Amino acid sequence: MKRVLVTGGAGFIGTHLCRRLLREGCHVICLDNLFTGSEHNIAFFRNNPNFEFVLHDIVTPYEAEDIDEIYNLACPASPVHYQYDAIKTIKTAVMGVINMLDLAVKNRAKILQASTSEVYGDPTIHPQYESYWGNVNPIGIRSCYDEGKRCGETLCMDYHRQNGVRIKIIRIFNTYGPYMLPNDGRVVSNFIVQALQGEPLTIYGTGEQTRSFQYVDDLIEGMIRMMDTDDDFIGPVNLGNPGEFTILELAHKVIQMTGSKSEIVFKPLPHDDPKQRKPDISLAQQVLGWKPQIPLDKGLRQVIKYFKERC
C-alpha cells in the first residue's frame, strides 16, 4: 500500500486530496497545524484505518519512515491569512519546503510542490505560460507569499539537481469549491457568503480585472496525474481553468444564481493586485492529458449549496 504524506491536509484543497487518495487505496498521513485547516473537514476520515492525522507545523522538521509520496500543500493561500503573519508565511514557504525536501531525501520519496499562479505577479503577458518569469514586487505586502512560493520552486530544483530528489512542481490558479473558509478573503467565497446574507458584494477596483476559476475536483485530478508522471518530467505545470471572467461578471453571476437582492459596492484596489490572470494549459494538456471539465456555473452551484448549509 502506498504511504502518502499530505501537508496542509486539513485545509480546503488538502481535504479533497486526502479523500481522493483514500479512495484510491493509499495510506494517508495528514499533517496540519490547523491555522487555516480544520479537524471538522477531516472528521469523516478519522475512523478510516488508512488515515492518520498529525498536528504539526512544517516549519519544524518532521520525521517519518516509509513515505512513498509527499504532497506539500501547507501554506496559507489567501491574502487575509498570509498577510496576517507575513514572517510566518515566508517561513512556511521556505523553511517548511526545506524540511519536506529533507524528508523526501531520507525516504527517497517523490514530492509534489503546490506552487501558485502568484509567481507570475501582476503579469505583463497574457495568458501566462510556464516559461514566463513573472512580474513580482519583492517588497510589497503580497511578497511573503509570492516570493516565498518562488523560493520554494528554487529549492525544489536545487534539491533535484544536487540530491536527485524526484520533484513535481505545479502552479495552481484560482481554485474554489466546498471546504473553503467563509472568511478567507477569496473572491468566490466572499461573494457567495455576502449574497446569501443579503450583504453588499464588495469589489475592489473597477471589477474589470480578470480571473480564471477552477473547480477543486479538476485541480485534484491534475495533481494526481502530475504525481504519476515519469520521474524525468518535473514541471512546472499550470493547473487552472482558462475560462476568463471579470470580477464584475462573477459578482452578477453569484447574485443571479443565489437569487440575492444584494447590491455591489466598490472599494480601492489593494496594492499589487493582478489585473489579469489566465493560465496557458497547453503543457498540462500535452503531458498530463488534462483539462478542466467543470464549468463555472456547475461549480458555483455546488459551492452555493455548501455555504447555504452553513450560513
Rounded Cα–Cα distance for residues 133 and 119 (Å): 8
What is the 3-class SS of the chain, one letter each residue?
A: CCEEEEECCCCHHHHHHHHHHHHCCCEEEEEECCCCCCCCCCHHHCCCCCEEEEECCCCCCCCCCCCCEEEECCCCCCHHHHCCCHHHHHHHHHHHHHHHHHHHHHHCCEEEEEEEHHHHECCCCCCECCCCCCECCCCCCCHHHHHHHHHHHHHHHHHHHHHCCEEEEEEECCEECCCCCCCCCCHHHHHHHHHHCCCCEEEECCCCCEEECEEHHHHHHHHHHHHCCCCCCCCCEEECCCCEEEHHHHHHHHHHHHCCCCCEEEECCCCCCCCCCCECCHHHHHHHCCCCCCCHHHHHHHHHHHHHCCC
Side chain identity, residue 225: R
Could you tell me if 271 and 204 are in contact, meaning their C-beta atoms sit under 8 angstroms apart? no
Kindly name the residue from 62, 120, 145, 176 that is annotated as catalytic: 145
71 tagged catalytic: no
Could you tell me whether strands 110-116 and 51-55 are parallel, antiparallel, or unpaired per DSSP bridges? unpaired
| Catalytic annotation, residues | 145
